[in-house]
Chains A and B, each alone.
Chain A
Amino acid sequence: MSEKTATSKPDTVYLFGTCLIDLLYPQAGVATVKLLQHAGVRIIYPQAQTCCGQPAWNSGYREQALAVARAQLELFPKPIPIIVPSASCARMMKFQYARLFAGQPDEAEARKVASRVYELSGFLVDELNIQLHDSGAPLRVAVHTSCSARREMAVANKIPELLKHLHNVDAVEPQHAEECCGFGGTFAIKQPEISAAMVLEKCRHICATGAQQLVSQDYGCLMNIGSALEKQGVALAHQHIAEFLWERIQDRDP
């Protein structure tokens, strides 16, 4: 369990930025830092971090997944929360490390690290009780909840809760929201036809909401859905929830 007590907010946290955000969407990582700072939290970002190991783990390469995951363990020694701006990577660390490290000499250490992992949106709501003030124009936003967020991490309601703070934002959930967008990591490459059918259907449901903007807690899904929307020429911006929130709360001079 986390070392935090019910009454006090954590004042310092680790950020695990994820390799996807590191390489493709660093602005989401920066926004995560800004939001946490906005809530009065100090951030430690170990520069030696790389990847949680999920790509290899889900592809059946356990030896490689273990090596990569093991390299992360020692980077987070303090008994403070580890914030992950991705439910998918957070799930890997929080729930799959126990399986990955089962029977290994550092199993106990892995479990300890796992117990300190939080997905960002859940952390903002449950642990920080963050307060946000909307400075943006009226906007309809479609919320995509990743499968990891909905299922193991159980944070599906956190983005809608965060968006409630923003009085000019009308958050909508697309039809069949519980259906996977078809990304699935290497699935998109190994089964491209099925993945394409899935993401195109997801796009149809998102477009049908009439939203001008799409947000999610996972860049894996956003990369999949966003790229498909772009290919179809649909003018519907997609953003990580951290970026979106950070932009909305900036005071804009007229």
Chain B
Amino acid sequence: MTSEFRRNATSALQQDDVQTNLNRVVHKLREHRQAAWIAADEWRQLRRHCQAIRENAVRKLPQLLEQLETNLIRNGIQVHWAETAEQANHVVLSIMQRHDAKLIIKGKSMVSEEIALNHFLMQHGIQALETDLGEFIIQLAGEKPAHIIVPALHKNRRQIAELLHRHFPGYAYTEDVDELAQLARKILRDHFQFARVGLTGVNFMIAESGTLCLVENEGNGRMCSTIPPVHIAVTGIEKVVEKLSDIPPLLSILTRSATGQPITTYFNMISAPRQPGEKDGPREVHVVLLDNGRSTSYRDRELAATLRCIRCAACINHCPVYQHIGGHAYGTVIPGPIGSILEPQQRGLDRYGELTQASTLCGACTEVCPVGIPIADILNRLRWDATRQDADCSTPGAGSGYIPAQTALWKLWAWQCTHPGAYRLSTRLATRLRVVLPGYFDAWTNVRTMPKLAKTTLHERLKALGIDHE
């Protein structure tokens, strides 16, 4: 039976325009990243440093969260905790209701995707408007982001032009990228001015100062966090770092890994709502700290490395599988290699276990990860968790991939490989009989010929050549 993932992937592989658009954008992103590192030494040193920062932050997570909370509250920022997506959604809803707000303007936030906030608010009569250009396009198309930093990478300018024209026929049709951007500016500007509540994600939180840091190029995140009277930031609990001096290296490695930029246009550090004497800024700032399965990863030393992620998307951009199937095929909020280790840990191997197989374990992801997450090793580990029958594993859905017949085959294989006499006999027989591998290998022969077994094995040939065996 073909899985949903395989059906999705096949469908993406059959769409020529998706293939062309994906291929173009991932290669551009790789070139940009490559160009951002003039000295390989500098990259390695900075990566070691950033890995240490994130590793320490994850290890001290509970203390840092408590420190962060204390400092946020002292600064006048309201802190909300949510164990689940549902709790987080209700926090946002109750703030909206308190302010009698029917519209929320949103800066880019993958956590809001994770909790399916837009859908939830719509059910309660509240419109959520995406304002990041890519997210705006995706929302108009009624789709989900195909990438965590370039959500509309699977669409080309013509498709985007047609989409905008269909939704806003009052504006002249254009395929010019500058004009399309100006169009979005005009359409969204009034909303920035009049919305009562703005929502953003968070890139980093500084525990020692109680500060929220937002990274962006467009200015819509600043709009959402500066103009409306209420700003809500939703974030995973793992985004906290210890101190201000942790921020410059992380910012540098984040933007360069993501798009090759030495820095984004805006780096916005919010430590308080509007203070007495200040003329603008939101009167209320809320932070929603979301767990939603993160603390489960925290339980396992090897898997906890997943929590170091700073969502730069370098692993996604460099993944040869993602490059071919795009983000939608994964069926998850976070696609690509990081999604394939993160989503099974947080949502269960029973649901997303197959994603651990959506990799050749080529290691491109591990190679580019700016915080040294051993993504390929964790994929390998989760494949184990999926087949495990012991009780020592805390990964949700552990053992759900256990298939007795498959296990029996592996046991047989292991028996043969641990009994050299049996191994030699069976390989010799196989080569003599020129065993044809079973039809199960249609998957292989669709685009390939079937390799033939040799006439004699290497064991035999080297014995015949008189090569010493000890």
Contact = CB atoms under 8 A, between A and B. Distances in A.
Interface of A: 15, 17, 19, 21-27, 29-30, 33, 42-51, 53, 55-65, 67-68, 70-71, 99, 147-148, 151-152, 176, 178-180, 182-201, 223-224, 227-228, 230-231
B449 interface: yes
A19 B383 CA distance: 23
B383 A47 contact: no
A68 B414 contact: yes
A199 B440 CA distance: 19
B360 A61 contact: no
Given A64-B411, A188-B444, 8 more contacts: A23-B427, A44-B470, A45-B462, A64-B410, A64-B413, A190-B357, A191-B358, A230-B449
Interface in B371-403: 377, 380, 382-387, 401
A56 B451 CA distance: 21
A201 to B, nearest CB: 8
Contacts of A200: 447
A229 B365 CA distance: 27
A62 B389 CA distance: 12
A151 B360 CA distance: 14
List of 4 A-B pairs having minimum Cβ-Cβ separation, nearest first: A184-B360, A192-B443, A60-B383, A227-B448
Q: Name the residue among B324, B360, B366, B468 with the largest chain A CB count within 10 angstroms.
A: B360
B359 interface: yes
B387 A194 contact: no
B40 interface: no
Contact of B454 (A15, A26, A67, A180): A26
B461 A30 contact: yes
Contacts of B450: 227
B420 interface: yes
Given A42-B468, A45-B469, A182-B360, A22 B457 contact: yes
Contacts of A21: 458
B44 to A, nearest CB: 13
A178 B360 CA distance: 13
A230 B457 contact: no
Q: Name the residue among B377, B380, B448 with the largest chain A CB count within 10 angstroms.
A: B448
B13 interface: yes
Interface size class of B (residues with CB under 8 A): 35 or more
B158 interface: no
A64 B414 contact: yes
Contact of A24 (B407, B420, B423, B452): B452
Contact of A43 (B385, B427, B457, B467): B467
Interface in B426-470: 427, 430-431, 440-454, 456-463, 465, 467-470
B451 to A, nearest CB: 5
Overall SS of chain A's interface: helix
Contacts of B459: 17, 22, 45, 47
Contacts of B460: 26
Contact of B384 (A60, A186, A193): A60
Given A48-B420, A194-B358, A24 B454 contact: yes
Contact of A23 (B363, B387, B453): B453
Nearest to B422: A50
Interface in B307-335: 320-321, 323-325
A4 B142 CA distance: 63
A22 B324 contact: no
Q: Name the residue among A23, A46, A51 with the largest chain B CB count within 10 angstroms.
A: A23
Given A196-B447, A199-B447, A184 B420 contact: no
A45 B467 contact: yes
Contact of B367 (A19, A151, A191, A231): A151
A60 B349 CA distance: 13
A61 B409 CA distance: 11
A201 B325 CA distance: 13
Contacts of B446: 192, 196
12 contacts: A17-B458, A17-B462, A23-B454, A30-B461, A42-B468, A46-B469, A46-B470, A60-B382, A64-B410, A179-B320, A180-B362, A194-B324
B410 A59 contact: yes
Contacts of A71: 417-418, 420
B283 interface: no
Contacts of A63: 414
A42 B442 CA distance: 43
Q: Name the residue among A26, A27, A56, A57 with the largest chain B CB count within 10 angstroms.
A: A26
B138 to A, nearest CB: 24
A193 B62 CA distance: 44
B240 to A, nearest CB: 29
Contact of A191 (B27, B357, B362): B357
A26 B457 contact: yes
A22 B444 contact: no
A33 B458 CA distance: 11
B424 interface: yes
B361 interface: yes
Contact of B361 (A30, A58, A67): A58
Contact of B414 (A67, A195, A197): A67
Contacts of B380: 57-58, 60
B183 interface: no
Interface string B172-197: 00000000000000000000000000
B454 A25 contact: yes
B6 interface: yes
A33 B401 CA distance: 41
B5 to A, nearest CB: 8
Contacts of B462: 15, 17, 29-30, 33, 45
Contact of A228 (B323, B448, B456): B448
B458 A22 contact: yes
Contacts of A148: 363
B369 interface: no
A178 B13 CA distance: 21
A147 B360 contact: yes
B9 interface: yes
A31 to B, nearest CB: 11
A75 B384 CA distance: 27
Given A24-B453, A29-B461, A55-B413, A44 B427 contact: no
